[in-house]
Amino acid sequence: MADNENPQPTQAELLAQIAELQAEVRRIAKLSAQNNGKHKGESSKSSAQGNTNPLNITPPKEKLTLDNPFFKEITKFQMPKNFVLPTALEPYKGFGDPRAHVKKFQAMMFFNGANNEPVLCQAFPTYLDGATLLWFSKLSAGSISSFEELARSFIDYFAASRIYVHGSDYLGTIKKGQHESLKDYMTRFAEATMEIQELDPAVHLHALKASLRPSKFCETIAITKPKTLEEFRERAAGQMKIEELHEAQKTDKQPHRRDEDKMFRPPNNKEQKKPFKLTPKFNTYTRFNTKRENIIKEILNAKIVKPPARAGSY
């Protein structure tokens, strides 16, 4: 009865089960092979990345060409044949007032056309150097449509550079040197005032007076009391002529004095300056056993040496 309850499978059923098992084994083996291949690839990549020498990595090449930040209308514009690039303006390097640089540039470019935007835009980068040229190279392409936009961006970026600009208080630190001529002092003072924008003429005149040293010119300024810079410059021009005249007279007198010194110089001047040196006649001498005063008294008493005669009276 046990055999009737659990019938044995036939040969055909056994073969079918074996075929299913073999197919399942092949599928599992294929999946495992695929997973092993992925792990090997990832490990090889990670090992390759980990074993790379940072010194052997070639850095990306720097782009040498500058991107054009101007619109196509500005870029395609052809400069006029009679265009002249000013040479008196020095390139801006990031120090000083950027507004002053823009104003100087516009003033020097005025004869090429006051409102010629393309000319101003194309010529402005030629007066940049150092950090400012690096700033211009980083502007995005096609971001500038006019010179006003370029100038505003330039002034806003270098606004902090205005701290290096002197104010009117700086004139109080300029003092006339002790041996400095009035001409050199006025030139040095004028160079300092050129850096100060919107300088009040009254402040300028007061600083000029206060920086003078006590002298005859300072006394004349205190007496005449010039009220304008023009009056002060007229007084200073007269004093400069007097100083130049004194310098010319000094240079004329100096060569004559040197010639006179050569003419009246004694021929044996070097020999007279040599110190007198006493040379002893013998190498050894007998030492005294008493004072020199006693020896002289004995010589005089013994009348070995006659005393000198008394000098006669006039």
pLDDT (tens digit per residue) in 163-220: 655 667 777 778 888 888 888 888 888 877 776 767 788 888 888 888 888 888 888 8
| Residue 95 falls inside a structural domain | yes
Say how far apart CA 237 and CA 182 lie, in whole Å: 9
Q: Which of 134, 164, 194 is the last residue of a domain?
A: 164
Q: Is the pLDDT of residue 138 over 80?
A: yes
Tens digit of each residue's pLDDT (9 = 90 or more) over 88-134 = 888 888 877 888 889 889 888 877 665 688 888 888 999 998 888 88
The mean per-residue pLDDT over the stretch 53-68 comes to 59
Q: At residue 153, what is the residue type?
A: S
Residue 290 lies in a domain: no
State which of 136, 164, 192 marks the end of a domain. 164
- Output 250 or 164, whichever has higher pLDDT: 250
Provide the pLDDT for residue 150. Answer: 92
Residues 238, 250 within the same domain: yes
Same domain, 155 and 176: no
In a domain, 55, yes or no: no
* Pair (179, 142) in one structural domain: no
The answer on 197 and 159 residing in a single domain is no
185, containing H or E segment: helix 182-194
Q: Whole-number mean pLDDT of the chain? A: 76
- Please name the residue that has the structure tokens 């120090």: 95
Of 262, 290, 309, which closes a domain?
262
pLDDT at 2: 44
Q: Tell me the mean pLDDT in the region 49-64.
A: 56
Q: What would the pLDDT profile of 265-284 be if each residue is shown by its tens digit? A: 555 555 555 666 777 777 77
Asked if the structure places residue 269 within a domain, the reply is no
pLDDT classification of 152: cutoffs 50, 70, 90: very high
Closest among 220, 219, 96 to 162, alpha carbons compared: 96
Domain total in the chain: 2
Supply the range of the domain harboring residue 217: 168-262
Domain assignment present for residue 148? The answer is yes
Give me 83's structure tokens: 């265009």
Give the whole-number percent of the chain exceeding pLDDT 90: 4
Stretch 59-85: mean pLDDT: 75
Cα 170–Cα 193–Cα 87 angle in degrees, nearest 5: 130
Angular region, 281: left φ>0, alpha ψ -120 to 50, beta rest: alpha
